A = this chain, B = another copy of it.
Amino acid sequence: MRKTMNTVHQEPETQRRILCSAEKVFYRQGYDGARMQEIADEAGINKALLHYYFRSKERLFDAVFSDAVLRLVPPVFAVMNINAPLMDKVRAFVDAYFSTVVNNPFLPGFVVHEMHRNPSRFSEIIQGSRLFMLQGLQRQLDEGAESGKLVPMEAEQFMLNLLSLCAFPFVAAGAMQAVSGKNDTEYQQLLEERRQLIPEWMTRLVERHE
């Protein structure tokens, strides 16, 4: 319930601006590297106003972090719980992951790095969307193995492989560009190619062939 509804107050539009700026700064600089002043500048407002909307840097960060995790994890988990053949799930997963991340290249690295600041907070945020997935996945892998179509594999390893192939090229983009000598455009093209290739590779990984 709002205080008075007679005007179409677009709700703290400033708050939205702050969150957006904080996101930009926290994503690239991390919690420790980020400066409240920089966030304020980015939002075109004053430092004091940050503390008015969010009480502290810690709370502002938590808002950004929660949002980041919720944007990255649940969609990706959800897609693995749909009722579909294994490889359809994989294709859906890769599409979902790339769609999210191509527009936020710093997102995976941010989540992975800021994780260890407060691991229990992370667990809270993603509670629920957890083990469900792995059970269904393991069942499909086992069925495929029994019918001789798939090689036996642990669902955890399968999932870790899928995630590694998708996420690492984004997390380590800087280092990879440095060793490969590719510029931004070239590297983005390489990433785009992986979007189709990863499902093929995951198929080869588990399909029996002899």
CB pair B164–A169 under 8 Å, yes or no, is yes
B residues less than 8 Å from A31 (CB atoms): 33
Per-residue 0/1 for A130-174: is the Cβ within 8 Å of any B Cβ (1 yes, 0 no)?
110010000000000000000100001100110111011101101
Q: Which residue of B lies closest to A166 (CB)?
A: B164
CB pair A112–B157 under 8 Å, yes or no, is no
A188 CB–B CB distance under 8 Å: no
B residues less than 8 Å from A205 (CB atoms): 201, 204-205
A102 CB–B CB distance under 8 Å: no
B residues less than 8 Å from A85 (CB atoms): none
B residues less than 8 Å from A193 (CB atoms): 157
CB pair A190–B32 under 8 Å, yes or no, is no
CB pair B161–A165 under 8 Å, yes or no, is yes
- What's the Cα separation between A28 and B210 when bound, in Å? 46
Per-residue 0/1 for A170-210: is the Cβ within 8 Å of any B Cβ (1 yes, 0 no)?
01101111111100000000100110010001001100011
A116 CB–B CB distance under 8 Å: yes
Q: Which residue of B lies closest to A151 (CB)?
A: B204
- What's the Cα separation between A205 and B200 when bound, in Å? 9
A98 CB–B CB distance under 8 Å: no
Contact of A164 among B111, B126, B165, B209 (CB under 8 A): B165
CB pair B28–A116 under 8 Å, yes or no, is yes
Residue pairs across A and B with Cβ atoms less than 8 A apart, 16 shown, are: A30-B32, A109-B112, A111-B175, A112-B172, A113-B113, A115-B172, A119-B174, A122-B174, A122-B178, A123-B178, A151-B204, A160-B169, A164-B168, A168-B171, A171-B171, A205-B205
